[in-house]
């Protein structure tokens, strides 16, 4: 099977999508320019303040609007392609009635989605786990918020519950995949509603300026850094528990549907399950480090994070599994054993670097911050060099130290490199005949590179001359000798 594409017709029919894509690129370029020019604007707000206040320009507002439209459009487009177009590029318009019917929320989708949300909120309060204190928050008198890290217990409890319900026949887990269109709309409506509620809170508490340019910025990028419901940190629950559990559940459900159709789960699908299973597990077992990541400490809980955590990640990142279902084994026969083993070995190697690099930095930082990192007895796997003994590091005049050992002596973002390798490995099992399975890698690569640039700009401003010294010691960002 190959994509038959009439390019001019496709461009004409999808001009909205292509316009949105162009605007999203503009958004990235624009925000890049903003960081590059921050030296000129320094005397006003600090970098972090400036970033969350926005520029208030029309271009900024338009780029946020484009991001909003693109994010919705791409999730629906990928779903439509897998469900109605065998995973190929095509033109969904005019929409057929069955497309609208399948994408309309129903009792099953509402039941499944809200069971996930409510169960994760209950697990967050009730299950055991260590508590860590986040970074000092300068805007709040250096207060340090407590984070109860029970994601691992929640992950094990969810798996046990779902397996129990499926095996006993109480709940057929395949329904999740069968209702994925309705689930997508349910998730999107819920995410957008939460974003609107958060924005209304912004107005109510006087955090939002209310002008049109600022409306888009405040709505999309948000103003709340640490939204909480009692002791529950909503950003953490959405980022760790909802997005990755829903993502892995969609994959597993898809694999069960494939088993029903073919009588077996294709080895290509096992590669996808391996990657997403390891990644989900890594998020849960490393949860105690999440309070120190960019998303939790820097990004505000606006529409962008809310949407991608509650809806976008799970549905956009699982396209490749759905593509396999759409291709149904006819055009994607079983991989030869050697190819399957090579792919699996490559996944394990990339994961090894990803897990170790994240653990090395996070544990090093935890030791610097409070003398020790939190030991997780049930966290599996524990890799041999996750904790570095007497690592080489650099003390900065800002007080925090920069690690220059382990994977961190080779590059400034070794965990991004490994993450990108995993993204490519996620695409390869889908073969080389189609473009859409490679969409994830095409989306993820610029996103992580852009993120690395933003972080570099932030660190350069924060550490000043120390950062220059560090960059001389560790000159490459992703791949030693190349970039
Ligand atoms: P990082 O883990 O790269 O954290 C960046 C911060 O770490 C910097 O701002 C700086 O903070 C500190 N830092 C930088 N260099 C050093 C060093 N050498 N030693 C010690 N501290 C240092 O950020 P992310 O949150 O972006 O990434 C975390 C993980 O999440 C990565 O593995 C990434 O691949 C993954 N990720 C996955 C996404 C997905 O959608 N799947 C999306 C985004 C990320 P400070 O100011 O404290 O010095």
Ligand 1 site-directed mutation target among 276, 402, 456, most atoms within 8 Å of CB? 402
CA distance 152 to 159: 11
Two tokens at 145? 């918020």
CA-CA distance, 351 to 353, in Å (whole number)? 5
How much distance in Å is there from the Cα of 451 to the middle of ligand 1? Answer: 9
DSSP secondary structure code for residue 433 in this structure: S
Ligand 1 contact via 209 beta carbon (within 6 Å): no
Contact 455, 477 (CB under 8 A): no
Q: Measuring CA to CA, how many Å separate 210 from each of 57, 145, 189?
A: 14, 29, 23
Tokens linked to 321:
């599994």
Ligand 1 contact via 283 beta carbon (within 6 Å): no
Ligand 1 contact via 361 beta carbon (within 6 Å): yes
> Cβ contacts of residue 402 below 8 Å, gap of 6+?
393, 394, 396, 463, 466, 470
**Pick from 147, 169, 32, 13: which is nearest to 80 by CA?**
13
Are the C-beta atoms of 250 and 314 separated by less than 8 Å? yes
Q: Which of 419, 472, 477 gets mutated to test ligand 1 (max ligand atoms within 8 A of its CB)? A: 419
Ligand 1 center to 473 CA (angstroms): 18
Cis upstream peptide for 65 (omega within 30°)? no
Note the pLDDT tens digit of each residue in 51-76: 555 677 888 889 999 999 999 999 99
The whole-angstrom separation of Cα 190 and Cα 418 is 32
Q: Are 190 and 311 in contact (CB under 8 A)?
A: yes
Cα 403–406–412 angle (5° rounding)? 55
Most ligand 1 atoms within 8 A of CB, residue of 361, 373, 468 to mutate: 361
Q: Give the chain's radius of gyration (CA, Å).
A: 22
Contact 387, 359 (CB under 8 A): yes
Q: Would you call 328 helix, strand, or coil by DSSP?
A: coil
Q: What contacts 481, CB < 8 A, 6 or more positions away?
A: none
In ligand 1, the atom with minimum distance to the C-alpha of 279 is: 41
Which residue minimizes the CA distance to atom 47 of ligand 1?
400
Per the CB < 8 A criterion, the answer to whether 78 and 315 are in contact is: yes
| Atom in ligand 1 nearest the alpha carbon of residue 470 | 18
Pocket mutation for ligand 1, best pick of 416, 467, 478 (most atoms within 8 Å of C-beta): 416
Query: DSSP labels for 171-223?
Result: S-THHHHHTHHHHHHHHHHHHHHHHHHHHHHHHHTT----SHHHHHHHHHH-S
DSSP 95: P
Which one, of 446, 471, 445, lies nearest residue 456 by Cα? 471
The DSSP bridge pattern shows strands 232-233 and 393-395 to be unpaired
Locate the ligand 1 atom nearest the alpha carbon of residue 293 and give its number. 25
Cis peptide before 305, with omega less than 30 degrees from 0?
no
- 294, 418, 456: residue to mutate for ligand 1 pocket, most atoms within 8 A of CB: 294
Angle (deg, nearest 10), helices 414-427 and 439-463:
170
Per-residue pLDDT for the chain (483 aa), expressed as one digit of tens each? 344 445 555 555 555 555 555 555 555 555 544 544 443 333 333 444 445 556 778 888 899 999 999 999 999 999 999 999 999 999 999 999 999 999 999 999 999 999 999 999 999 999 999 999 888 888 788 888 999 999 999 999 999 999 999 999 999 999 999 999 999 999 999 999 999 999 998 888 877 766 666 888 889 999 888 899 999 999 999 999 999 999 999 999 999 999 999 999 999 999 999 999 999 999 999 999 898 888 888 889 999 999 999 999 999 999 999 999 998 666 788 999 999 999 999 999 999 999 999 999 999 988 888 777 887 888 999 999 999 999 999 999 998 899 999 999 999 999 999 999 999 999 999 999 999 999 999 989 998 998 899 899 999 999 999 999 999 999 999 999 888
Residue 355 in contact with ligand 1 by CB distance below 6 A:
no
Our answer on whether the CB atom of 454 is closer than 6 Å to any ligand 1 atom is no
**Residue 455 CA, ligand 1 centroid: distance in Å:** 8
Q: Please work out, in degrees rounded to the nearest 5, the angle formed at the alpha carbon of residue 342 by the alpha carbons of 338 and 345.
A: 135
Look-up: residue for tokens 């590669």? 271
| d(C-alpha 101, C-alpha 109), whole Å | 13
Q: Which of 455, 457, 466, 472 to mutate to test the pocket of ligand 1 (most atoms within 8 A of CB)?
A: 455
For residue 264 and ligand 1, the question of a CB distance below 6 A is answered with no
Ligand 1 pocket, residue 444 CB under 6 Å = no
Rounded Cα–Cα distance for residues 69 and 59 (Å):
15
Question: With contact defined as beta carbons under 8 Å apart, do 344 and 338 qualify?
Answer: no
Nearest ligand 1 atom to the CA of 448 is 43
Q: Please give the pLDDT value at position 136.
A: 85
Burial class (CB in 10 A: 0-12, 13-18, 19+), 404: middle
CB of 455 closer than 6 A to ligand 1? yes
Element (H, E) at 346: helix 337-370
Contact by Cβ (8 Å): 81, 90:
yes
Q: CA 477, CA 414: separation in Å to the nearest integer?
A: 8
DSSP notation for 130-155: -EEE---BGGGTTB--EEE--HHHHH
Report how far ligand 1's centroid is from the alpha carbon of 292 (Å).
Answer: 8
Question: Do 31 and 52 contact (CB within 8 A), yes or no?
Answer: no
Task: Output the six-digit token pair for 62.
Answer: 């338009």
- The predicted model scores a pTM of 0.89
User: How many A from CA of 294 to the centre of ligand 1?
Assistant: 6
Res 31: pLDDT:
54
Atom of ligand 1 nearest to the CA of 404: 18
Ligand 1: centre distance to CA 248 (Å): 23
**Beta carbon of 456 within 6 Å of any ligand 1 atom:** no
Count CB-CB contacts under 10 A for residue 10: 15
């Amino acid at each position: 099977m190959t994509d038959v594409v009439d390019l001019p017709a496709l461009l004409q029919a999808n001009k909205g999508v292509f316009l949105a894509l162009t605007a999203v690129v503009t958004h990235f370029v624009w925000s890049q320019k903003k960081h590059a020019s921050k030296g000129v604007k320094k005397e006003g707000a600090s970098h972090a303040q400036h970033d969350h206040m926005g520029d208030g320009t029309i271009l900024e507002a338009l780029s946020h609007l484009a991001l909003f439209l693109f994010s919705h459009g791409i999730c629906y487009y990928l779903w439509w392609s897998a469900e109605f177009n065998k995973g190929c590029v095509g033109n969904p318009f005019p929409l057929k009635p069955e497309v609208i019917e399948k994408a309309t929320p129903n009792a099953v989708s509402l039941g499944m989605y809200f069971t996930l949300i409510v169960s994760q909120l209950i697990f967050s309060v009730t299950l055991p786990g260590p508590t860590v204190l986040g970074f000092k928050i300068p805007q709040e008198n250096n207060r340090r918020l407590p984070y109860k890290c029970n994601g691992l217990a929640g992950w094990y409890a969810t798996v046990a519950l779902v397996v129990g319900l499926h095996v006993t026949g109480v709940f057929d887990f395949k329904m999740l995949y069968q209702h994925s269109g309705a689930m997508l709309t349910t998730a999107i409506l819920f995410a957008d509603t939460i974003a609107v509620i958060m924005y209304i809170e912004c107005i109510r508490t006087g955090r939002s300026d209310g002008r049109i340019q600022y409306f888009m910025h405040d709505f999309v990028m948000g103003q709340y850094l640490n939204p909480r419901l009692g002791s529950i940190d909503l950003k953490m629950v959405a980022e760790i528990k909802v997005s990755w559990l829903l993502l892995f559940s969609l994959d597993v459900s898809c694999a069960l549907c494939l088993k029903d159709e073919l009588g077996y789960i294709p080895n290509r699908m096992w590669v996808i399950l391996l990657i997403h299973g390891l990644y989900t597990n890594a998020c849960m077992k490393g949860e105690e480090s999440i309070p120190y990541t960019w998303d939790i400490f820097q990004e505000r809980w606006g529409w962008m994070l809310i949407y991608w955590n509650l809806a976008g990640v799970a549905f956009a990142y699982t396209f490749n599994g759905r593509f396999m279902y759409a291709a149904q084994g006819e055009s994607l026969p079983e991989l030869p054993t050697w190819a399957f083993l090579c792919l699996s070995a490559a996944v394990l190697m990339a994961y090894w670097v990803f897990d170790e690099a994240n653990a090395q930095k996070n544990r090093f930082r935890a030791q610097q911050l409070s003398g020790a990192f939190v030991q997780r007895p049930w966290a599996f796997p524990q890799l041999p060099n996750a904790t570095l003994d007497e690592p080489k590091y650099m003390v900065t005049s800002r007080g925090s130290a920069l690690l220059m050992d382990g994977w961190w002596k080779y590059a400034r973002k070794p965990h991004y490199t490994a993450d990108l390798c995993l993204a490519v490995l996620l695409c390869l099992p889908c073969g080389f005949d189609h473009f859409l399975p490679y969409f994830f890698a095409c989306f993820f690569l610029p996103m992580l590179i852009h993120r690395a640039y933003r972080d570099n700009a932030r660190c350069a401003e924060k550490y000043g001359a120390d950062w220059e010294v560090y960059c001389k010691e560790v000159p490459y960002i992703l791949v030693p000798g190349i970039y």
